[in-house]
Structure 1
Amino acid sequence: MTHDHDLVLRPTPAQTEAALNPPPGRTGGDLVVESLAALGATTVFGLPGQHALGVFDALRRSDLRYIGLRVENNAGFAADAYGRITGEAAPLLLSTGPGALTSLAALQEARAASAPVLAIGSQVPTAGLGGGRHGYLHELPDQAASFRGVVKSVHTARTQSQIPSAIAEAWTSALTVPHGPVWVEIPQDVLLAETAIPVVTGGDTFPEELPPRPELTAVAADLLTRAERPAIIAGGGVVRADAAKKLRQLAERLQAPVVTTFGGKGAFPWTHPLSLQSWLEDRHTTDFLEDADVLLVIGSGLGELSSNYHTFTPRGRVIQIEADLGKLESNHPALGIHADARLALQALLETVEEPRTDPTAPERVREVLDKVRARVAAQELTLEQDVLAAVRKALPSRAPSFWDMTILAYWAWSAFDPGAPNTMHSAQGAGGLGYAFPAALGAAAADPTHPVLAVSGDGGALYSIAELATARQYGLNVTWLIVDDGGYGILRAYMTDAFGTPTATATDLPGPDFVALAESFGVPGVRTSPETLARDLAKALATPGPSVVVLPAVLRMFAPTHAD
């Protein structure tokens, strides 16, 4: 009996001839770029370095598009966004030691947000592996150890014959749910040596699917069918799985109100009658979710931000669908279903057949949102709401936006209508600074048909200011809104709340003239005001190429409510 997996594809005569007579002058670096191209990669990000030059030399002989950033961490953020936008693994080429280590914060964000990034780093020559014997520049005793706690998987190629398989294995890992970053490292001498290995042409990989267990789906469907007050929390897993339409179908069939987490922005239509939007830092929302007799949590681990800082204590039955096994029931007991959000939602749609009737659900949603709006309105935060509204007005409906860890982004987590799935992204997964602008560059490289917005504070902007050169070099359609409040505004607010006064030398930042600085890079800049923001931002977004809009403003956070 022959099984499909027993079949072996025989090479054609032409393939055999090409394999026996590979073109001269190829190196291990060529095997890297050939492997990437064979797997379907078209764009790579990164920075060259001494030990990685074999790969960068091979790029000249390939059709891969290379986008080089000025800082490795920013290259990682760009690859992260490329992976989020396309759903493909984004190659990230790095050098040994300091270059590799500088990418760690970006890879941490990619891991937290389930963004598929294929990081390929060089190593010292093979003779130096094992630590300190030869004193090579950039040498680490165990470079891979620095990545094991950050990425999904670590892969090594110590010979040229190992390169295609190591990269294919890493690619499969990055795209197996939950998606995430992976690390491959290859010694310098392996990359530089000439190779007689045939040109890499076979690149098919098959990321494993993660369907739900049918017996668990049956129990979940029964609980949801019999529920009187069902509710849904939709997290980033819904967005990553491209499952927003299935979520909407299930919510409407159950008449279940839906709140999206900050990582799940866009998973459910903002103005839908069942949409509780994203007011997770509000006790009215928390109370509503706690009152649900059956709460379906899809693609969220119910972590700190999604649980109103761990004050959320559900009283009903919780069903949690989560692709990351480590997050399943990690914070609350539940009927845990280890599955991809898309496949699990499809299974529930096939099992929950009878529509549920509850004409009160939209009314209950309106009551919660009215209470939230009234509470925020009482705090006299008109400036902040006007600024956010101006951004929404200026941004085309399908244009993606990327938000740094800044006060306006904290507002956007709760109050911004993303307009569509997979269009609003922030660094809230790991919470590092400097994400927005380089990530926006990666998104613009992925899809040049839409303008891209980046939003930063002046503190976060200084982390990635060098990438204005990248934006200019490649003509990427990114508009960068910098809200300049003269420091780390959110940390200033946190310290004031906690200690009564901030440490000014730590939170106040004498900064540059961002407009003049942008123009020095050849990037047009404009200084705006809250009154002219919508107009100036819309004009910048409509103009091809990079641009900078600077808004001098001190914004305040709304007061969250974690308990009664």
Structure 2
Amino acid sequence: MGNRTVRDATRELLRELGLTTVFGNPGSTELAFLADWPDDFTYVLGLQEATVVAMADGYAQAGRRPVLVNLHSAGGVGHSLGSVFTAFRNRTPMVIIAGQQLRNLLPDEPYLGATEAANFPKPYVKWSHEPASAEEVPGAIARAFHIATQEPQGPVFLSVPSDDWDVETSKPIVSRPRIPGFAPDPDALIELAAALDASERPGLVVGAAVDAEGVVPEVVALAERLNAGVWASPMSARCSFPEDHPLFLGFLHPERKLITAALQAHDLVVVLGAPAFTYHVYHGEPELSLPPLYLVSDDEQLLARPAEGVAIRSTQRLAIRALNAAVGEVERATPEPLARPERPVETSPISAPYVYSVLAELLPDNAIVVEEAPSHRNDLHNHLPITSTDGGFLTMASGTLGYALPAAVGAALASPERPVVAVLGDGSSMYSVQGLWTAAQHGLPVTFVILDNSQYAALRALGAAMGAEKIPGAELGGIDFPGLARSMGCEAASVSEAAELKGALEAAFASSRPTLVHVTVDSAFHKLY
């Protein structure tokens, strides 16, 4: 056996950390890292770096586990940055290792060299570093892992010169256990529990961090104990409360006046695992004030924003469990239940609400829905309630398109025991359509449902709300989605009549292969907020 190299030490470390599934798209500066690839490691190839990062993001989110990504120098990192931004907003525990040119070539700005490599992905990584020497590499990876997996979690970045991997090292690598979450200040918790006990009409606003920590059942128990109505936070990337529960009140829109009006029904609001609040549009300042507000979050940056209310720093699991133990039994009136619209009827052309209603009828209870159809988000909320209390819904928190198709592939790799359905707009699917190839290569039974209205309808809807009726670059059409899917090894079906939809979806769900269902929907676009 030869002497121990940095590559050997790194692989020992990655095994200890559970990072033996690597998502990547290789180049010359990664060859030394990939050489003599171990049989107990899995390399998931994506055909473009933004797709690679989004697949890894879905894998980490669905599996609630950290993930390793390998990118190619400055070019590959540049391609990936939109998805890195999403991973940052999604709070994804992701370690990114990018190849760098040989150390002795770097002073001359060589071909494929990354200038100021550690600065390139900032500010959308928690930590970014290029080790000063080869022997520092394994230790830097260990540090990166701990930074990525500490709450609030997020991506980290390392640039590693390609000749570092073959350097011999005797330096020991210390692998410490992941750092657990942290509890709220006891006095702050007592204050919050007392405020809830005194409240007559409390409300909860839940965000993605609740489901990311796997404590939705505890939130359900808290809401039932308080008899409190529960809202989903604006633009939440996960479902943190079952939407068929009688205490679920709906979705807050990302606009100040609408949020303020919706929360007037409460005399106290507690925000769990979300900002207070995320905004997308501005219609002026509200005339009314928000009710008294408590914000429970692990993110010191979020808690430092100029917002109303009392901030309590804690991870969600410990805060919610402590609240369940601290609040008393108080008689309260039950909030008015959420009124849902009637099930849509069959129309020609097919409406997006009808597609969602059929999906709601057919989806297994343990399915994961990965969504990126922005112009139809309200239709999804109205007609496809997510009822799972364990990671039943994923989307991007950043608003950057191209997440859902590859994220569904990553989710299926992480949770092979669960059906995965991606619901996509025609425009958003084309940002990362290469992910279909990876799904086919791994034989993943993912169903990709494309709602094709031949346009960027969300852009048109927002433009219309601004009074901008004529906008260039919003018209699409002429894309052969079934042909694209078949060319990459997937099965495919086309649906243009409502009567065909149920059968096509049933066949897709029953297939053992990745299947794309292309649905032509009406071109009408609706007000988003």
CA contact (8 A) 1:277 1:414 kept: no
Show the counterpart of 1:542.
510
* Alpha-carbon offset, residue 177 of structure 1: 0.8
Task: Give unpaired runs (5+ residues) of structure 2.
Answer: none
Q: Distance in 2 between matches of 1:82 and 1:310?
A: 39
Q: Distance in 1 between matches of 2:122 and 2:237?
A: 27
SS at match of 2:121: helix
* Alpha-carbon offset, residue 181 of structure 1: 0.9
Show the counterpart of 1:91.
68
Show the counterpart of 2:248.
275
SS at match of 1:531: helix
Of 200, 207, 220, the residue aligned with 1:248 is 220
Q: Distance in 2 between matches of 1:125 and 1:345?
A: 50
Of 480, 487, 495, the residue aligned with 1:513 is 480
Show the counterpart of 2:84.
107
Show the counterpart of 1:458.
426
Map 1:196-211; keep pairs closer than 5 Å. 196-197=169-170, 203-211=175-183
Instruction: Please give the per-residue CA displacement for 1:43-68, whole angstroms capped at 9, x wherever unaligned.
Output: 1111111111111214x125111111
Map 1:128-527; keep pairs closer than 5 Å. 128-129=105-106, 133-191=107-165, 193-197=166-170, 203-261=175-233, 262-263=235-236, 265-278=238-251, 280=253, 286-305=260-279, 314-328=289-303, 330=305, 332-352=307-327, 354-358=328-332, 360-361=333-334, 364-366=335-337, 369-370=338-339, 373=341, 383-413=351-381, 416-421=384-389, 422-427=391-396, 429-504=397-472, 506-527=473-494
* Alpha-carbon offset, residue 413 of structure 1: 4.8
Taking a change above 3 Å as real, the CA distance of residues 224 and 556 of structure 1, as seen in their structure-2 partners, is farther
Q: Distance in 2 between matches of 1:307 and 1:211?
A: 34
Taking a change above 3 Å as real, the CA distance of residues 309 and 186 of structure 1, as seen in their structure-2 partners, is farther
Amino acid at match of 1:423: G
* Alpha-carbon offset, residue 555 of structure 1: 4.9
Amino acid at match of 1:224: L
Taking a change above 3 Å as real, the CA distance of residues 29 and 531 of structure 1, as seen in their structure-2 partners, is farther
CA contact (8 A) 1:321 1:338 kept: yes
SS at match of 1:434: coil
* Alpha-carbon offset, residue 249 of structure 1: 1.4
TM-score normalised by length of structure 2: 0.91
Taking a change above 3 Å as real, the CA distance of residues 264 and 256 of structure 1, as seen in their structure-2 partners, is farther
Q: Distance in 1 between matches of 2:336 and 2:260?
A: 13
Taking a change above 3 Å as real, the CA distance of residues 549 and 373 of structure 1, as seen in their structure-2 partners, is closer
Q: Distance in 2 between matches of 1:308 and 1:452?
A: 35
Equivalenced residue count is 520
Of 109, 117, 121, the residue aligned with 2:98 is 121
Q: Distance in 1 between matches of 2:478 and 2:399?
A: 22
CA contact (8 A) 1:405 1:431 kept: no
CA contact (8 A) 1:27 1:54 kept: no
Taking a change above 3 Å as real, the CA distance of residues 365 and 197 of structure 1, as seen in their structure-2 partners, is farther
* Alpha-carbon offset, residue 347 of structure 1: 1.6
Identity of aligned residues (%): 27
Amino acid at match of 2:250: Q
Of 23, 26, 46, the residue aligned with 1:69 is 46
Task: Give unpaired runs (5+ residues) of structure 1.
Answer: 1-22
* Alpha-carbon offset, residue 99 of structure 1: 0.5
Instruction: Please give the per-residue CA displacement for 1:187-216, whole angstroms capped at 9, x wherever unaligned.
Output: 11102x24244896x633332522111111
Q: Does 2:524 match 1:552?
A: no
CA contact (8 A) 1:266 1:424 kept: yes
Q: Distance in 1 between matches of 2:281 and 2:224?
A: 24
Of 33, 53, 58, the residue aligned with 1:55 is 33
Q: Distance in 1 between matches of 2:100 and 2:199?
A: 56
Moved more, 276-285 or 159-168: 276-285
Q: Distance in 2 between matches of 1:50 and 1:37?
A: 24
CA contact (8 A) 2:6 2:138 kept: no
Instruction: Please give the per-residue CA displacement for 1:148-205, whole angstroms capped at 9, x wherever unaligned.
Output: 20011123333332222211111111111111111122111102x24244896x6333
SS at match of 1:397: coil
Taking a change above 3 Å as real, the CA distance of residues 310 and 81 of structure 1, as seen in their structure-2 partners, is farther
CA contact (8 A) 2:91 2:152 kept: yes
Taking a change above 3 Å as real, the CA distance of residues 25 and 468 of structure 1, as seen in their structure-2 partners, is farther
Q: Distance in 2 between matches of 1:26 and 1:414?
A: 58
Amino acid at match of 1:514: F
Amino acid at match of 2:8: D
Taking a change above 3 Å as real, the CA distance of residues 167 and 284 of structure 1, as seen in their structure-2 partners, is closer
Q: Distance in 2 between matches of 1:48 and 1:75?
A: 11
